[in-house]
Amino acid sequence: MELDRKTIIVTGASSGIGAAAALLFASEGANVVLGARRKEELDQLVGQIVQSNGKAACLPGDVTDETYAGSLMDFAQDRFGTVDGAFNNAGVMGDMGPVSQMDRANWDAVIAANLTSAFYAAKAQIPFFAEKRSGAIVFTSSFVGYSNGGMPGMAAYAASKAGMIGLVQALAAEHASDGVRINAILPGGTKTPMAGEDPNTHDFVANLHPIKRLADPREIAQSALYLLSDRASFVTGAPMIVDGGMSVRLL
């Protein structure tokens, strides 16, 4: 049991990678505290975990609200006594298109949901982990933030995910001596609601990957599990690429 009796916060947990991670972490012994905007989906996921003899609770909210990050920490401590790690996974794609045609509202919304929310999460989580001198934090970035060659129309998303990598590396350097490990996973194309429903689009994106398929969300969740577990005890500041070879093709 990789996360036995550990309490882990998961944001963006109502679907996709976040939901897969919540199920996986619970199966590995964690008490999972789920955050997302959609209460009904969170309640259903909590019920699914509890029916499988896992432990879960949820607190709906918006990661772009700074107070929500603190509320999640308080809620997790009240419910399970402590917090041992966090998978800050929530994010949005935003509208795609060239920067010259992008409106400010779209830019601001993507940066807020993907990057500023990561800043809020770090501010809420790190002091607690630093005080107890242990904790692991994983953020969901993207291969698009690492190597965006050949992916036009994704400037806001790419900027937010690249900024997240920089944030993670700075945080890791600042808090390694406090016993806090901070890493990021960089998924490739994954079968999530963000990928849409068009099978032609799925096929197109899948064929961009050398592995010639999209990832299952559970595959990405496995990478987050590793970074949150004690097996990654010497890993911090790492942008862990989990992209089916996509970044190799682009480089």
Active site residues: 157
Burial class (CB in 10 A: 0-12, 13-18, 19+), 153: middle
